[in-house]
Structure 1
Amino acid sequence: MAAVDTDAPEITEEQFVAEATEFLEANAKRKTERREFVWGQGPDNAALFEEVDREAERQDLAAAKEWRAKKFDAGYGWITGPSELGGSGLPRKFERLWMQLEGQFDTPDGGFFGIGLGMVAPTILAHANPEVSSELLPRMYRADVVGCQLFSEPGAGSDLASLQMRADRDGEEWILNGQKVWTSGAHYSDVGEVIARTDFDLPKHQGLTGFIVDMDAPGVDVRPLRQMTGGANFNEVYFNDVRVLDSHRLGDVNQGWGVALTTLMNERASIGGGGAGGAGGFTKLAAMAQHFGVDDDALTRQKLMNVYTYGKVLSWSNQRTMDGLHAGRTPGPEMSLAKMGLIRQMGAMCDFVSDTLELRLVADTGEWGTFSWAGYVLGFPAMRIAGGSDEVMRNIVGERVLGLPKEPGIDTTSPFRELKVGTQRSE
């Protein structure tokens, strides 16, 4: 399906489904009908983060790139994107239709592109100059270029505005020096979105600037970080006199906080909308309770229903949010609610499996459906930090959604602080 001509008659949903189905039938295999879950049968893997060796990862990435290029060339790689940038220029309803259809077929994992297309690409579209957008976005959606996000630093995670990585101007270039940490996919990414400090004399939220950097540029050093799960999904990245053209700046100089917010809102929407297992996860937990003979225990049943209830509320909240996005609204602070809801459900799942499995969770007996959950429980703390810690999410919701007073901080003015400093005790 070629990019849509604005002068041509609008394609109908029926036409779209027919053409998309024909493409999928010709290029992928339909999934076999899913069998009903039975305890002890099928794969025994509950880890939150897939721990794969680098060679297997390279092979999976190559297959994912090939599939993405194929569907982009057919007009299904960026369905809502502007036609002048290689997109199909169709309304969001067609993207939903495509996702439903593609989900019926076995296709390579597209998780490699989640950060680049879900967070970095929307920021480029909103803040990059037209030449860079025209150069990068078609290549990103075709998977010729993979993107990553470089925000957190060892001393600036939840308080992102405290970052110290610096960018100094040198004519039509910027020189970047500093360190970033917890960067997913940096080792296979081609470009990265980075926020650096360009003016140390301004208040911390006002002296930041965003850039798109070449991850293969001289001075970029990517090092894997080993996690307590045993894998190395994240990286730390060092910048040593890395040069970036001013044309690859995102937004205005010292206005990088707004650029960062664009990315963060999309990030929280991606994380919160991912779900923690849905109905399938609940089914497995219910089978676990039955297998170990605790399904009649009142406390166990209550914990199991907590998982189900939190999941239902999360799905309804996400549906409302996604309806707003499909209607054209940009992601806002309400995205933090999705992240908070996901964490609550995941925490309930961790509580349930810990109490049900007990020592089986920490000692590998070889029994199906037991020790494999250790990867889930050990991975959960990372999810509480990714995209903003629980505490930061609560502050955002309280201040920007509920309208509560801003929490006093070292960089904010507090009436209580003024009272303490500006008054003299009479006694």
Structure 2
Amino acid sequence: MGKIKIFDRNQTGFSVKTEIIAGLTSFFAISYILIVNPMILKDAGMPVAITFFATAISSALGCLIMALFADAPVVLTPGMGVNAFFTYTLVTGMHLTWQQALTISLFSGIVYVIVAFTKLSRILSDKIPLNLKKGITVGIGLFLVELGLEKAEIIKSGGSRSLLSFGSITDPATIVAFIGIVICLFLMVKRVPGDFLIGIIITTVIAKLLGVKSSNATTVSINDIGQFTHALFQFDFNHFFNTKFLIAVFSMSMILIFESMGLLEGLLTDPRKFQKSFQASSMTALLSAGLSTSPTVAAAESASGIQSGGKTGLTALTSGIMFAVSIFVAPLIAMIPQAAISPVIIITGALMMKELANIKMAALDDWFPAFLIITLIPLTGSISTGLEFGFIAYPLVKIFAKKTDELNPAIVTVSILFLLNLILSATI
């Protein structure tokens, strides 16, 4: 009997060492989610001990499913933006309990799975115009740049004078971030294997020498896992199928389906892996509700591992193993300062913005919807908001330009759904 091949090793440039390094790079780039997600869900009334383990375990399972089912180098974690919707819209805004919010996540996950495992996913993917797809990639890239600059404290709130302002060049964290950018760029130009991972390690050492402390301190330990095991499947069906419940499920389903589709379209270098990656993402989103966390999506930071050479599921598997290990070494991971992670996020975002060159710029009706996506994703801090306005604008400008022949039922339907989602979201 021949050896069973789990990962496609026939891809150009494949090497086990590169895949593992890529997986480690992706993990460290997104590792902040282990701290940030529990902090956001804490505002929903969920104990930090529960949500820390839920974040780590759902991410580990998601990466495992992505690796073995889709053979794709994409990390799945509870999504930034989705967790904010969970906490600040469902719980704070709609006055639901976190158990009821988990129930909404459960049904949204079911809708997501149905779309992913039917022809709907392929129809939506094939019929989305190329300019919108490229706009999603560039918008996510710009969002990552902004996120990285904020983590490095290179930019900060401008207060009443401007939206953003430059940080202090004398701030040790900012200095460390600039040094990290230089180190990562040098390693990339020299084509050093594991450039990003090496950059994170060196920058972390420099940060410690300069006295830069991590803001990710956590008191969670493995001894708290008992709280997590007693919080599984905490669903509450008291508001089952009333108007508020249906609107919330619809809104979250739209966010999950189209944000995930946009992320995967932007991340995957091999379009053949989209279908199974989308399905893997849907399964993990469904599982996350039972694990007591907000839904998982593809992490935009996966691009850092892909840029480091990750091509197969071995990259995702490596990240998944690291998430599993993090359950036992949470305080150690929390020691890595944001200033050491931010250079990787900034450079990764910049690399994704290369897709600007592939956006047709000759006619306004071609580039304006993509422009809305590109600008609104970082400016609102919400991928779904950028998608809403870009997709709503697309059929409008085509009608204005008398180019209705470039429209198809799928894009029109999606645009209408985004419009309904925008309206309904404003009413809840």
What TM-score, normalized by structure 2, do the two folds share?
0.27
Larger gyration radius, structure 1 or structure 2: 1
Higher strand share: 1
When the two structures are superposed, what TM-score results if normalisation uses the length of structure 1? Answer: 0.27
Looking at both structures, which has the greater relative contact order when contacts are Cα pairs under 8 Å and sequence separation is at least 6?
A: 2
